[in-house]
Amino acid sequence: MRSDRIRMGLIGCGGISRAHRDGYLALSDQVQVAATCDTQLELAEERRIELEADRAYRDYRDILDRKDIDAVDIMLPHDLHKEVTIAAAQAGKHILCEKPIASDETSAREMIEAANNAGVLLMIAYCERYGNAHQEMKRLVESGAVGDPFLLRIDHSQWVHMPAGHWINDPSKLGGGVVAGSGTHRLDLLRWFGGEVRRVAARFLHTGLTPLGGEDTAVISVEFAGGAIGEMVCTWSAQRAPWYETLMVHGSRGVVHNLDGVKISRNGGDFEGVSLSHDDPYGFREEIRHFLSCVRSGETPLTNGNEALKTLRLVNKVYEAANSECWIEVTNE
Ligand SMILES: NC(=O)c1ccc[n+]([C@@H]2O[C@H](COP(=O)([O-])OP(=O)(O)OC[C@H]3O[C@@H](n4cnc5c(N)ncnc54)[C@H](O)[C@@H]3O)[C@@H](O)[C@H]2O)c1
């Protein structure tokens, strides 16, 4: 690396790039966004101006050709993650790629292999692991504060109504519906808190309330290899509901939740508020901080390609379970 700041290129400057932009601005002592790219050039130009990058491009290969760029942040529709990640790895760029890694395991493996072969870092942006509530809840659970977890409850409720023709409405680009879109975050968190999943069952609904082509609502049951059980409820058809996400972990000695701030009850006592160690609720800034730190140190990211592959495998088993209406075994080999 040539300068003390890591030089990034942004590929895809749509909705989520605004959240990443705020992370880059907050970490400007460590990172410089050098270039931006979007097939809608006006969006690339918007991010270029905000981040004081020097060029905005329409073709991502122009970013990959630049020798002064160390790493890329890929924020594209899911069906493009593979092509651009492999090209970025071959160009020697470290890669932060939005979730999910891909929609099929073969593509995910090829992406991991390309990064390994090139000796570059691949991190998937499962930002929720880096948010302040989840970080603190994980610390509490790991420290044994609630004993052995036996029940995990997680949900996601949102109104996602994109115009007809948007890629999110097309299951072949999204990889499904709400489960492939936001559910992947929540299933990733279930794995992070509960360990590997042994089997799953799922029921999906397509209400037709939005133009979404895939399922917009899902109820999922999981059994963890360690014996605990869990449930996940998610919908992108929560009309007028505020967007909310919750997690509750019941253990043998207590319960921790984030229904209204992080609260813990130990041994049947009253719920107590827990103070959080940083002020980033959604984790976008902290995931970028982690990525930059891993690029500098060579440390493997928390949400590396193999972790993301395991979450993808679980997501795909959920689809298999919903289609078959059976309990489906999950194996990780
Ligand atoms: N972490 C989160 O909470 C979260 C939330 C929303 C989206 N995401 C993820 O971010 C990614 C992008 O989602 P989004 O909501 O920003 O979508 P979006 O449609 O708002 O933005 C995608 C952008 O990619 C551009 N694009 C498409 N093809 C391109 C190409 N070949 N080269 C360059 N640019 C191209 C489009 O013009 C568009 O501006 C997805 O992986 C999605 O799952 C994550």
SS3 per residue for 72-83: EEECCCHHHHHH
**Ligand 1 contacts CB of residue 186 (under 6 A):** no
CA 72 to chain centre: 16
Whole-number Å distance between alpha carbons of 319 and 201: 9
Taking the centre of ligand 1 as the mean of its atom positions, its distance from the CA of residue 268, in whole angstroms, is: 45
Ligand 1 atom with minimal separation from the 181 CA = 43
**Would the pLDDT of 2 be above 50?**
no
**Ligand 1 contacts CB of residue 38 (under 6 A):** yes
When pLDDT is cut at 50, 70 and 90, the band that residue 311 belongs to is: very high
Phi first, then psi, for residue 214 (nearest 5°) are: -90, -170
Whole-number Å distance between alpha carbons of 61 and 69: 12
State how far the alpha carbon of 96 is from the alpha carbons of 81, 126, 218, in Å. 11, 10, 28
CA 243 to chain centre: 17
Whole-number Å distance between alpha carbons of 249 and 255: 6
Whole-number Å distance between alpha carbons of 85 and 122: 9
∠ CA 194-196-201 to the nearest 5 degrees?
90
Whole-number Å distance between alpha carbons of 109 and 112: 5
* Residue 179: DSSP 8-state: I
**Ligand 1 contacts CB of residue 61 (under 6 A):** no
Q: pLDDT tens digit string along 102-157?
A: 999 999 999 999 999 999 999 999 999 999 999 999 999 999 999 999 999 999 99
**Ligand 1 contacts CB of residue 20 (under 6 A):** no
Taking the centre of ligand 1 as the mean of its atom positions, its distance from the CA of residue 22, in whole angstroms, is: 16
- List of residues 6+ apart from 319 with CB closer than 8 A: 176, 179, 180, 202
* Residue 125: DSSP 8-state: E
More confidently predicted of 312 and 241: 312
Fold of 131-278+312-329: Dihydrodipicolinate Reductase; domain 2 (3.30.360)
**Would the pLDDT of 194 be above 50?**
yes
Fold of 6-128+284-303: Rossmann fold (3.40.50)
∠ CA 79-85-86 to the nearest 5 degrees?
105
**Would the pLDDT of 325 be above 90?**
no
Residue-wise burial string across 84-109, b where 16 or more C-beta atoms lie within 10 A, e elsewhere: bbbbbbebebbbbbbbbbbbeeebbe
- List of residues 6+ apart from 96 with CB closer than 8 A: 71, 72, 73, 74, 123, 125, 287, 288, 291
Taking the centre of ligand 1 as the mean of its atom positions, its distance from the CA of residue 167, in whole angstroms, is: 9
**Ligand 1 contacts CB of residue 80 (under 6 A):** yes
Ligand 1 atom with minimal separation from the 167 CA = 19
Whole-number Å distance between alpha carbons of 95 and 87: 10
Phi first, then psi, for residue 159 (nearest 5°) are: -105, 105
The model carries a pTM of 0.96
Taking the centre of ligand 1 as the mean of its atom positions, its distance from the CA of residue 31, in whole angstroms, is: 21
- Say what the pLDDT of residue 1 is: 44
Token readout for 122 is 């691949």
Strands, sheet with 272-273, edge to edge from the N-terminal-most edge strand: 272-273, 263-266, 254-257, 244-251, 149-157, 229-235, 217-224, 197-205, 328-329
In which residue ranges of the chain is CATH 3.30.360.10 found? 131-278+312-329
Phi first, then psi, for residue 52 (nearest 5°) are: 55, 40
In which residue ranges of the chain is CATH 3.40.50.720 found? 6-128+284-303
- Say what the pLDDT of residue 3 is: 57
Taking the centre of ligand 1 as the mean of its atom positions, its distance from the CA of residue 13, in whole angstroms, is: 7
Q: pLDDT tens digit string along 45-65?
A: 999 999 999 999 999 999 999
Q: pLDDT tens digit string along 226-267?
A: 999 999 999 999 987 777 889 999 999 999 999 999 999 999
Amino acid at 307: E
Q: Mean pLDDT of all residues in the chain?
A: 96
Taking the centre of ligand 1 as the mean of its atom positions, its distance from the CA of residue 100, in whole angstroms, is: 11
